[in-house]
Structure 1
Amino acid sequence: MKFPRKTLLAAGAAAAAVTLLAACGGGQVGQTPAGDQPAQQGNKKLVLIPGVQAEPFYISMQCGAEAEAKKLGYELTTSAPQKFDAAMQTEKVNALGSAPPAGLLIAPTDDQAMLAPIQQVKNRGAKIVEVDTALKDTGVAVSSISSNNAEGGKLAAQTLAKLVGGKQGSVLVLDTIAGTSTTNARAKGFEDELKNHPNLKSAGVQFTQNEPDQAAGKVTAALASNPDLIGIFATNLNTGEGAATGLRNAGKIGQVNLVGFDASPSEVEGLRKGEYQALIAQDPAAIGVQGVQQAVAAIEGKPTQRNITAGLHSITKADMDANAQYFYKQQC
């Protein structure tokens, strides 16, 4: 997952529209009609707009969604921004134009800034399903499917406590960007659970803007200011990779326990090599499947479930082979 800026950018939407509208049946970016409009009769098109392109978590979600859409007789296309950024994602949403798909599956990159563009698509008749992340406004989507991120953070803290045993030390949390519902909840869940382990004290939460180099720099600074640093919790892929780089540069691989979130190919390889001591894996393919199921149910006038929680799994090097089904994909 990745993360947001608070400003919206409409410039460039027309250019982005050309490619996506070709896949979605044409149309132009228009004015928002007053009130929700009925979906186009016989519209079998779904669009997935994840948080960012080329990330294994979202690729795995796309694979699950595509397979389920085909199974149910729908066509799903994916349009992902280059960065986890509200302005870039807004361009993708605006590019849907005045003839949107019957259903939009989206991972909002900002829980407030993405409200207006997503609401516009809803007003044009599309059913909205949130996948992975969610808006603060709970009245837009018919369903929201995600992991319980606070529980994921709690599980990470419990896992770290088991790894260090009774040793004492400081623990750093690397979050991404303020306003990202998923990673912020993970950080809070971790910090809350850490209070139950008196041998571990918080070295604070640092934001990395979802940039690995910033995460590496935060680790370097934390090592200098906290000589007793015993653990790091990285709330997503980029922060984890950056943290591993920081530890590697300092010669602290294996000496400071790194618990990452997600199970991308690079993280799994890092776990196998001892750069990570544990990973908290989600099930993005299942999120994609359930997202499509909820969108189709809404389109066809069937009951939907407003909130669905996906599973979480703590994986260490000792049990990673037994949990290989939770490793993320790089292609479908």
Structure 2
Amino acid sequence: MKLSKTFLVAGTLATSAALVAACGSGQVGQSGSGDSGDTANSKKLVLVPGVQAEPFYISMQCGAQAEAKKLGYELTTQAPQKFDAAMQTTIVNAMGSNPPAALLVTPTDDQAMLAPIQQVKNRGSKIIEVDTTLKDTSVAESSISSDNTEGGKLAAQTLAKLVGSGKGSVLILDTIAGTSTTAARAKGFEDELKKHPNLKSVGIQFTQNEPDQAASKVTAALASTPDLVGIFATNLNTGEGAATGLRNGGKIGKVNLVGFDASPSEVDGLRKGEYQALIAQDPAQIGTKGVDQAVAALEGKPVQRQLGAELHAITKDDMDANSKYFYKQSC
């Protein structure tokens, strides 16, 4: 997940259409070859990630585009401006009159997105979930994501190594209630933290996926919890906000910050010492596997219902050796 910024119900169908464009920049919300009306729908795949212009989803799109081209399919990408179910619903609903052969989608809410995605499925599209999932497991042919629970556990293990024999409290910053990936990360982290008696959780706080809210939560925690030794931020926006809060409080490097994902800004923060560790996913692999499963479903080949992607704990000491896991800003 890992997700991006505020809510604004806007757009309508014109906004959705405007999000499809030629790929030159590789920005999410733009597509590889444009809208090709003469291409049969049987070869059309559509990717609807969580939000446009975010490095995680750009990297996912890059992997999906390359794999679709290799397999002889056309993939276009349409993304909401914000990680918001209402905006994503507008985009998915717009496919009703001309559904693609397969829809690769990152549900921005595990319940609210059920009806619009089900509607596309009812009109003949194969559904592939990438990154996040619906609670209803009957809709998708396949779901591809990192093992987010394990990612949370890896984050707790990494934080415990950073703290060593020290003692203190740990704050967990989640994004929006109902986001399957970050909820799993937070739970995995809390469960693993219980195995380290020198560390105690002060609970999970939601940031609405807003960096400024994450910063204010950290500011409040620094004031109320003098023994704060660690923060786990479940995605890039919470991480960026947490770093701001620590910077404002003069606690950079004094409170260990473990972030999820490896966006350019997070990697820069790791290099500067604002983060002590990052848990990197492999979004390009998620996109590649998503296309593979979509094509398999369309061609009547075996489909795997659940697929995972790799996770990697990266610190400043080993970041250069793990640079291949850093997220892209363009394809």
Structure-2-length-normalised TM-score = 0.92
CA contact (8 A) 2:19 2:79 kept: no
The alignment status of 1:77 with 2:76, answered yes or no, reads yes
The alignment status of 1:131 with 2:130, answered yes or no, reads yes
SS across alignment from 1:130:
strand
CA contact (8 A) 1:3 1:109 kept: no
Deviation at 1:12, TM superposition (A): 4.7
Cα 1:240–1:23 change in 2 (3 A) is: same
Distance 1:317 1:70 in 2: 36
Per-residue deviation, residues 35-91 of structure 1 (Å, max 9, x unmatched): xxxxx9762111100000111000000000000000000010111101100000001
Matches within 5 A, 1:167-186: 167-186=166-185
Cα 1:93–1:139 change in 2 (3 A) is: same
SS across alignment from 2:35:
helix
SS across alignment from 1:43:
helix
CA contact (8 A) 2:155 2:313 kept: yes
The alignment status of 1:331 with 2:330, answered yes or no, reads yes
Distance 1:326 1:275 in 2: 19
Equivalent residue in structure 1 for 2:35, among 23, 37, 45:
23
Deviation at 1:95, TM superposition (A): 1.4
Amino acid at match of 1:213: D
CA contact (8 A) 2:128 2:142 kept: yes
Match of 2:308 in 1: 309
Cα 1:102–1:4 change in 2 (3 A) is: farther
Distance 2:67 2:40 in 1: 21
Deviation at 1:16, TM superposition (A): 3.5
Q: Which moved more, 1:89-98 or 1:138-147?
A: 89-98
Cα 1:24–1:17 change in 2 (3 A) is: farther
Match of 2:151 in 1: 152
Match of 1:31 in 2: none
Deviation at 1:99, TM superposition (A): 1.4
Cα 1:8–1:258 change in 2 (3 A) is: closer
Match of 2:3 in 1: 2
Distance 1:251 1:72 in 2: 52
Distance 1:193 1:317 in 2: 23
Matches within 5 A, 1:50-69: 50-69=49-68
Distance 2:115 2:213 in 1: 30
Amino acid at match of 1:114: M
Cα 1:300–1:241 change in 2 (3 A) is: same
CA contact (8 A) 1:25 1:99 kept: no
SS across alignment from 1:53:
coil
Per-residue deviation, residues 217-240 of structure 1 (Å, max 9, x unmatched): 000000011000000000000000
Distance 1:63 1:261 in 2: 20
Deviation at 1:8, TM superposition (A): 12
CA contact (8 A) 1:265 1:328 kept: yes
CA contact (8 A) 1:4 1:179 kept: no
CA contact (8 A) 2:5 2:210 kept: no
Per-residue deviation, residues 132-185 of structure 1 (Å, max 9, x unmatched): 000000010000000010100000000000000010000000000110000000
Match of 1:194 in 2: 193
Deviation at 1:97, TM superposition (A): 2.6
Task: Give the number of equivalent residue pairs.
Answer: 317
Per-residue deviation, residues 187-213 of structure 1 (Å, max 9, x unmatched): 000001000000001111100000000
Structure-1-length-normalised TM-score = 0.91
Distance 1:158 1:151 in 2: 10
Amino acid at match of 1:65: A
Distance 1:212 1:24 in 2: 38
Distance 1:25 1:221 in 2: 54
- Dislocated runs of 4+, deviation >6 Å: none
Deviation at 1:315, TM superposition (A): 0.4
Unaligned 5+ runs, structure 2: 21-33
SS across alignment from 1:23:
coil
Distance 2:36 2:137 in 1: 26
Distance 1:185 1:77 in 2: 29
CA contact (8 A) 1:174 1:206 kept: yes
CA contact (8 A) 2:4 2:54 kept: no
Amino acid at match of 2:159: L
SS across alignment from 2:317:
helix
Distance 1:171 1:250 in 2: 16
Distance 1:134 1:329 in 2: 23
Identity among equivalent pairs (%) = 79
